[in-house]
Amino acid sequence: MKARRLLAVLLLCVACSGGSQTPNGPSNVSPTFATLVFSRTQGFRHDSIPAGIEAIRQQGNARGFSVDATEDAGAFSDDALARYKAVVFLSTTGDVLNAAQQAAFERFIRRGGGFVGVHSAADTEYDWPFYGALVGAHFSGHPDIQNATILIEEPGHPSTASLPRTWMRRDEWYNFQRNPRGNVTVLATIDERTYSGGTMAPDHPIMWSHTYESGRAWYTAGGHTTESFSEPLFVEHLGRAILWAAGAI
Domain contains 103: yes
Q: pLDDT band at residue 44, thresholds of 50, 70 and 90?
A: confident
Strand partners, 105: none
pLDDT tens-place string over residues 85-104: 999 999 999 999 999 999 99
pLDDT computed for residue 31 by the predictor: 78
Query: To the nearest whole number, what is the mean pLDDT of the chain?
Result: 90
Range with the lowest mean pLDDT among 11-15, 37-41, 48-52?
A: 11-15
In this structure, what DSSP letter does residue 181 have? B
Distance CA(204)–CA(195), nearest Å, equals 12
Which among 1, 6, 94 is positioned nearest to 46, based on CA atoms? Answer: 94
Which residues of the chain form beta strands (DSSP E)? 33-38, 65-70, 86-90, 114-118, 139-141, 146-152, 166-171, 175-176, 185-191, 205-212, 215-220
Q: pLDDT band at residue 6, thresholds of 50, 70 and 90?
A: very low
Domain contains 167: no
Domain contains 24: no
Domain contains 165: no
pLDDT tens-place string over residues 148-169: 999 999 999 999 999 999 999 9
Which among 199, 206, 181, 40 is positioned nearest to 119, based on CA atoms? Answer: 206
Which among 84, 96, 81, 90 is positioned nearest to 43, based on CA atoms? Answer: 96
C-alpha distance from residue 183 to each of 108, 136, 160 (Å): 21, 7, 19
Domain contains 54: yes
pLDDT computed for residue 30 by the predictor: 67
Q: Is there a contact between 96 and 70 (Cβ–Cβ < 8 Å)?
A: no
Domain enclosing residue 55, as ranges: 30-139+206-245
Q: What's the mean pLDDT in 36-47?
A: 93
pLDDT computed for residue 21 by the predictor: 32
pLDDT computed for residue 130 by the predictor: 98
16 in helix, strand or coil? helix
Q: What's the mean pLDDT in 32-61?
A: 95
Domain contains 11: no
Helices (H), the chain: 2-18, 49-63, 78-81, 99-110, 129-135, 232-245
Domain contains 1: no
Domain contains 191: no
Residues 6+ apart with CB under 8 A from 159: 187, 207, 209, 218, 237, 238, 240, 241, 244
Q: How many domains does the chain have?
A: 1
pLDDT computed for residue 18 by the predictor: 35
CATH of residue 132's domain is: 3.40.50.880
